Amino acid sequence: MKIAILGGTGSIAEGFALRWAAKHDILVCSREIDRAVKAAEEYKDVLSDKGLLCCGMTGCENETAIGDADIVLLSVPYQGILQMLKNLVPCFKEQIVISLVVPMKKNKWFEYTPPRQGSAALEIREILPKGVKVVSAFHNVSARKLAQPELSLDYDVVVCSDDEDAKKTVMELTREIKNLRPLDGGGLSSSYMSESLTPFLINLAIRNGLSDLGVKFL
């Protein structure tokens, strides 16, 4: 498959690009083509240095990548993703869109601040064309550990969507990342529960001097 990563030059985007490159064509996306191309070359160098396979890694502008992609991963902060998607609506057709977006703000501590729709995933679905299949996942995976493809990640990933086939596809992609376990979280209306765990885990880490917290259900 062709996977476009919007916000492809960010920290968590790197991890997904490195982890999925062995089996999929990765389109590293940015509004600035030079940044996208540079990031793609750097990711390829990392894979080469580690002796890992790379099907394909290309730096692209957002518009070009979305049109070519089977799957679009949104790794852009909430504050920037909504206007970006509104500008890009004509580029979408019937792709699977994976949202790991979390609406939150920091006062003394981080707080979950959902929109009127109830979650970022539901708001994103409202913006995108009807044929696009929105899936919510990967909110609570450590960006630092994800970017080290030799590491095994002993986390669970809750996957929510109203489209069962799209959900199954994202669960398969989750299994491709070493030791991640996908769990069916139900419909997209349940996304707020996994989104809201992100600020909770950040606050928990700060209070207890921890890092790289994730979720594991036992």
- Burial bucket for residue 167 (CB in 10 Å: 0-12, 13-18, 19+): buried
Per-residue pLDDT of the chain (218 residues; tens, 9 = 90+): 999 999 999 889 999 999 999 999 999 999 899 999 999 999 999 999 999 999 999 999 999 999 999 999 999 999 999 999 999 999 999 999 999 999 999 999 999 999 999 999 999 999 999 999 999 999 999 999 999 999 999 999 999 999 999 999 999 999 999 999 999 999 999 999 999 999 999 999 999 999 999 999 99
Whole-number pLDDT of residue 11: 85
Q: Residue 13: inside a domain, yes or no? A: yes
pLDDT for 31:
87
What is the pLDDT, as a whole number, of residue 181?
98
- Domain membership of residue 214 (yes or no) is no
- Look at residue 116 and tell me if it is in a domain: yes
In a domain, 58, yes or no: yes
Residue ranges in the chain assigned as alpha helix (H)? 11-20, 33-49, 62-68, 78-88, 120-127, 143-146, 164-175, 191-208
State whether residue 206 is helix, strand or coil: helix
Decide if 195 contacts 139 (C-beta within 8 A). Answer: yes
Q: Residue 62 sits in which domain range?
A: 2-208
Q: Residues 97, 74: contact at Cβ < 8 Å?
A: yes
The tally of domains found in the chain comes to: 1
